[in-house]
Structure 1
Amino acid sequence: MKVDLFDFELPAENIALRPVRPRDSARMLLVAGDAPFEDLTVRDLPAQLRAGDVLVFNDTRVIPAQLEGTRGEARIGATLHKRIDLRRWQAFVRNGKRLHEGDVIAFPADVSAKAEQRHADGSWTLAFAGSEPVEVLLERAGRMPLPPYIAGKRPTDAADLEDYQTIFANEAGAVAAPTAALHFTPDLLAAIDAAGIGREILTLHVGAGTFLPVKAEDTDDHSMHAEWGRIEPDTAARLNTARAGGGRIIAVGTTSLRLLESAADADGTIRPFAGDTAIFITPGYRFRAIDGLMTNFHLPKSTLFMLVSALMGCERMQAAYAHAIAEGYRFYSYGDSSLLLP
């Protein structure tokens, strides 16, 4: 499909630079089948679901994966996006043309890494020196990897250390937040539980490839970056039981959706999963594991807007986004939410 089909104009004033407080006071656009759009808030979520439905959350935790360093006189920026092993990470590198294999990049706080291998997409494998876990090094030398549409407008600050983590954040390893879950609060979770709506957890470590623009003119020519995920056997069993009993599986965020679909058989049975997924969902895809999606508003021509268009239809989502823009919804990571029920 032509990537231009997924383009739209977004005024700069619709891009959220800070989250609303409290988190569950964010707006939520209900897109249910062919029914008229409904302007709600996230607090209305329990009333839009049924007892027996299950919300599926991603418990990945964002690490301070952005580093600024030097190689000689050259300034080098690195955003880690995928762990390779205990000492090595794949990273997108700013000013990477100044690097050669074997060069050592010096970062603050006595942290350094060797540029070990350049990949075809321009990223590098960085091998960190020392014996401390890389996550410990990042706590000393790194900063929170806010997406470029926020970081380009203001600096990262202390508030982002909390704002850019979900209430479920537990498993360290992501370089981007599963932002649909940023809206959840203890009060909202209590209301969900009281309504008889189930909750399950999986892990997908979101990579920086989430923010990369689709540069190809056709979706067939775009390659997704792989991300690591896990669904425990007990979690898969409970999800299958809930669906067999008539409950709907509602993914909270495109990360949860992509992992569930990666783990599902052709008949929709969700299997335990541990490994990489590079699933790329575009219109024409037949969803197997999920019955709905709660998600924020995505970038034009992004793989995530393609995903929601696959779920609801491209024309339907173009109309939904036009409505959201006209009504002043806030877009992207710190923005408002939508509930998509085919």
Structure 2
Amino acid sequence: MKTSDFYFDLPEELIAQVPILDRSSSKLMVLDKETGNIEHKIFKNVIEYLNPGDCLVLNDTRVIPARLIGEKVDTGGKIEFLLLKRHEDDTWESLVKPGKRAKIGTKFSFGEGKLIGEVVGMGPEGSRIIKFHYEGIFEEVLDELGNMPLPPYITERLEERERYQTVYSKHNGSAAAPTAGLHFTEELLKQIKDKGVDIAFVTLHVGLGTFRPVKVDDVLAHEMHSEYYVVTKEAADKINKAKENGNKVICVGTTSSRTVESVATDDNRVQEGSGWTNIFIYPGYKFKVVDKLITNFHLPESTLIMLVSALAGKENVLNAYNIAVEEKYRFFSFGDAMIIK
């Protein structure tokens, strides 16, 4: 299976730069994974594809302002940190630009010394292990000094931080938003609950590895980065109840899908638990839990479009993406959505 099998031509003007005013009024493509049939709706119509007894699975992670702009303590040279993964004792695995300035032992200052970062080790794939020194509570310092780590294909300034958070975000830890969830409003979630649909919250802290391009020709040679997840007993019980009663489990986003499939058992149930997952889902994978998927439109040749293709079939997905281009759907993080039923 070649990475190039998942390529499609995307005009740059279809990459959404800003979120639309009403979260739930984006376009919604409906793709039937059995027939390949396509319908065009508005996102709030998604409730039509959820039935009483079904379980909607949402990732309640919260994006941290993980992008820090500072300077080298001795020379004043500019530096940019992107915090990826928290370790113990105030150390973080971080991407650093420019990397040549970040030798072990070097110190960097942020916010005129409110936060000092010291390079204490080398991490995977050119990242650095940074030890932070500060006074007070780290999350509060980061909230004051950090910026939202928007993907590189978004070049417009984000006017309102909360628009890169889901309305149900709860647990800090992500370097990127679980973007399929950005379409939901409190009102829509209430309507879904009132219809008799169970809502289960799982947590997967999204790392940049999820969005990184696949750099190998052979899909099977790609290695996924690990991401931390939590599935509570309450969430597992709701998902298992839906499966046992013959109802559907609808995951919102590839992150929710990867989380539940990571804790799935051979009898199509899920177990509560927490840990690190590097599950890589591509065509040929047999889903144990996910029946339907609500997702955005993803980058060509990405692991995300591979996961979607595993559920709906590569031909169906690429056909749907080509139609989305023709119909001028908006792509990527702030773009439109698709439900695979």
Which TM-score tier does this pair reach, normalised by the shorter chain?
over 0.9
Deviation of the 1:315 alpha carbon: 1.1
1:218-255 CA distance string (max 9 Å, x none):
12222111111100112212211121001111000111
1:146 aligns with 2:147: no
Could you say which residue in structure 1 is the equivalent of 2:13?
Answer: 13
Q: Sort the Cα spacing of 1:133 and 1:226 in 2 relative to 1 into closer, same or farther, 3 A.
A: farther
Deviation of the 1:48 alpha carbon: 1.5
Deviation of the 1:97 alpha carbon: 2.2
1:113 aligns with 2:110: no
- Which segment drifts farther, 42-51 or 302-311? 42-51
Deviation of the 1:131 alpha carbon: 5.1
- Given that residues 79 and 208 in structure 1 are in contact (C-alpha distance below 8 angstroms), is that contact kept between their aligned partners in structure 2? no
- Given that residues 80 and 208 in structure 1 are in contact (C-alpha distance below 8 angstroms), is that contact kept between their aligned partners in structure 2? no
Q: Could you state the TM-score of these two structures normalised by the residue count of structure 1? A: 0.95
5+ residue gaps, structure 1: none
1:21-77 CA distance string (max 9 Å, x none):
211101110011214200011111111222111110011111100011222343221
Structure 2 CA distance for aligned equivalents of residues 285 and 133 of structure 1: 43
Could you say which residue in structure 2 is the equivalent of 1:335?
Answer: 335
Structure 1 CA distance for aligned equivalents of residues 138 and 158 of structure 2: 21
Structure 1 outlier segments of 4+, above 4 Å? none
Could you say which residue in structure 1 is the equivalent of 2:39?
Answer: 38
1:243-280 CA distance string (max 9 Å, x none):
10011110001111100000111221100121111111
Could you say which residue in structure 2 is the equivalent of 1:77?
Answer: 80
- Given that residues 236 and 272 in structure 1 are in contact (C-alpha distance below 8 angstroms), is that contact kept between their aligned partners in structure 2? yes
Deviation of the 1:162 alpha carbon: 1.6
- Which segment drifts farther, 168-177 or 112-121? 112-121
Q: What is the aligned-residue RMSD (CA, Å)?
A: 1.4
Equivalent residue for 1:92, pick from 92, 95, 100: 95
Could you say which residue in structure 2 is the equivalent of 1:58?
Answer: 59
1:63-118 CA distance string (max 9 Å, x none):
10001122234322111111112401111122112221111121224211111111
Aligned residues: 337
Q: SS where residue 134 of structure 2 aligns?
A: coil
- Which segment drifts farther, 323-332 or 206-215? 206-215
Could you say which residue in structure 2 is the equivalent of 1:266?
Answer: 266
Could you say which residue in structure 2 is the equivalent of 1:102?
Answer: 105
2:118 maps to amino acid: K
5+ residue gaps, structure 2: none
- Given that residues 52 and 198 in structure 1 are in contact (C-alpha distance below 8 angstroms), is that contact kept between their aligned partners in structure 2? yes
Structure 2 CA distance for aligned equivalents of residues 335 and 308 of structure 1: 16
Structure 1 CA distance for aligned equivalents of residues 51 and 178 of structure 2: 24
- Given that residues 81 and 209 in structure 1 are in contact (C-alpha distance below 8 angstroms), is that contact kept between their aligned partners in structure 2? no
Structure 1 residues 122-133: aligned runs within 5 Å: 122-130=126-134, 132-133=136-137
Identity rate of aligned residues, in percent?
41
- Given that residues 55 and 238 in structure 2 are in contact (C-alpha distance below 8 angstroms), is that contact kept between their aligned partners in structure 1? no
1:94 maps to amino acid: K
Q: SS where residue 290 of structure 2 aligns?
A: coil
Deviation of the 1:177 alpha carbon: 0.8
1:273-297 CA distance string (max 9 Å, x none):
2111111111111111111110001
- Given that residues 86 and 133 in structure 1 are in contact (C-alpha distance below 8 angstroms), is that contact kept between their aligned partners in structure 2? no
